[in-house]
Amino acid sequence: MKLDRIKSVVLWSIISAAFIGPGTITTALTAGAGFQLRLLWAVVFATLACIVLQEVSARVIISSGLTFGQCIEKKFKLRWLKWLVAFPVLLGCAAYEAGNILGAVSGLSLLLPGDGRWFTIAITISAGCILWAGGSKFISAIMMALVAIMAASFGVLAWRAEFTTGALFQHALIPALPAGSEWIALALVGTTIVPYNIFIGSAISKGTTIPLMRIGLTISVLVGGLVTACILLAGAHAGGFTSFGLFAEKLQADLGVWGNWVLGAGLFAAGFSSTLTAPYAASLIANNVLGAESKRSTRLVWALVLLTGFCFGISNVKPIPVILTAQALNGLVLPLLTWFLILLVNDAHLVAVQHQHKKWYNGVLLLIFALTLFIGLNNVDKAIVSAFNLGSGNPMVVVIVAAVAVGLLVVQLFKGKVNVN
């Protein structure tokens, strides 16, 4: 039984490896450098919310025995809905892959001398070979190793931070929003609860049991949240963050040359893990949501995502229009997924009675939906403002739309359209 639990943790380690990428490192370092420990609570909340959403998704799949796409078709009787969910996430996987590869290159450049273009080629080929070998167990084992590297690297940096235990608990448990921290707090939540992780989790949960899933998922995501917290502490200790190169110089001045190596190892592990998970997630979406069953089709999907990232990475041209579009679309995917998950997990035709939750759990899910919707609408608002140079967005509109959507979902739940225990 202990061996099964260990295997479950290894399997689910892909989730923590997936959300700790260059974007998460940048966000957490910025939060720590700008606001010290005062946004640590956002990391705690995002970690717990990630566990809840992943658990609900996996429980629906395990209990129903269906894929995510089949669950959507069975519940809503509309085949095009799965395309509405899948397409923006596929586009996002391709758009952000360049950043993942370049993040790994940045880490490798701190460890070894050499041309970044050759590092880009080497990282892309290595990722392609691992993905070609395939298999969730094989990829999860590699992810476990990369998570261990990240945990060790950023754990060492966090250990150097001089904060009292009382201060850590205070800022981890008591929410606070210092002036100017609102959007970085939302970014910490948004970079932890990412849409494609839900698809990864629902795919790898098939064939396991709910108790084993919960053990593996909980431990894996908690480790990921701890790593993110360590990154925030490292940023708070350094006192500033503008680029990885300058941050490495600060660490080297403070800790010696090994500080540079530790950052390089952590950044490489984060970038390379995300380089693997974005194409892998795309292939799982093609298979489990859109119904592409042949290995050739799924390989074609992950190859296109990896190749897109490589082309932008090697040319050093940033796909700004595509990224802005993907940002806007993905901004609505997470709350849309959360909406679907709330309806699916409350449906007695999909989730057996023994696997259904208590009424209060819907309150937790509604709270997460409200926040993810606010984050999503805010991301869309920022993308539109940036694309059309509008100057500033309108937060009040975002709040009103989010409140109306939550109200509609509550009405849908309590009118008996779904079975609520």
Tens digits of residue pLDDT in 280-338: 988 888 888 887 777 888 889 999 999 988 988 788 666 556 555 555 566 677 888 88
Helices (H), 316-349: 320-345
H or E stretch covering 265: helix 257-288
In a domain, 261, yes or no: yes
Q: Residue 354 has what DSSP assignment?
A: G
Q: Is residue 377 part of a domain?
A: no
> What's the total number of domains in the chain?
1
Residue 66 forms part of a structural domain: yes
- Could you report the per-residue pLDDT of 82-114, keeping only the tens digit for each? 888 888 888 878 878 888 888 888 888 888 887
298 within a domain of the structure (yes/no): yes
Percent of the chain scored above 90 by pLDDT? 16
Specify whether the CB–CB gap between 377 and 93 falls below 8 A.
no
Q: What average pLDDT does range 38-64 have in this prediction?
A: 92
Report the C-alpha gap between 70 and 61 in whole angstroms: 10
Q: Which CATH number fits the domain that encloses residue 90?
A: 1.20.1740.10
The Cα–Cα gap between 267 and 149 comes to 10
What is the rounded CA–CA span in Å between residue 277 and residue 359? 34
User: Is 385 within the bounds of a domain?
Assistant: no
pTM for this structure?
0.85
Would you state the pLDDT for residue 319?
Answer: 57
Contact 327, 93 (CB under 8 A): no
155 and 237 in contact (C-beta within 8 Å)?
no
Is 160 domain-assigned? Answer: yes
Helix/strand number for the chain, H first, E second: 17, 0
Average of per-residue pLDDT across 122-130? 92
How many of the other CB atoms lie within 10 Å of CB of 101?
28
> What stretches of 112-241 show up as alpha helix (H) in DSSP?
116-133, 136-159, 165-173, 182-192, 195-204, 210-238
User: Which pLDDT score is estimated for 69?
Assistant: 83
pLDDT in tens, 327-347: 556 667 788 888 889 988 988
**Gap between the Cα atoms of 398 and 1, Å rounded:** 48
Mean pLDDT value across the chain: 83
Domain that holds residue 96: 2-319
d(CA 269, CA 111): 12
The answer to whether the CB of 12 falls within 8 A of the CB of 217 is: yes
280 occurs within a structural domain: yes
Residue-level pLDDT at 421: 44
Choice between 383 and 201, residue whose per-residue pLDDT is larger? 201
**Residue 173 in domain:** yes
| Selection from 214, 300, 194 nearest residue 290 by Cα | 300
Q: Has residue 45 got a pLDDT over 60?
A: yes
Query: pLDDT tens-digit profile of 171-217?
Result: 999 988 888 787 788 888 888 888 888 888 888 887 788 888 999 99
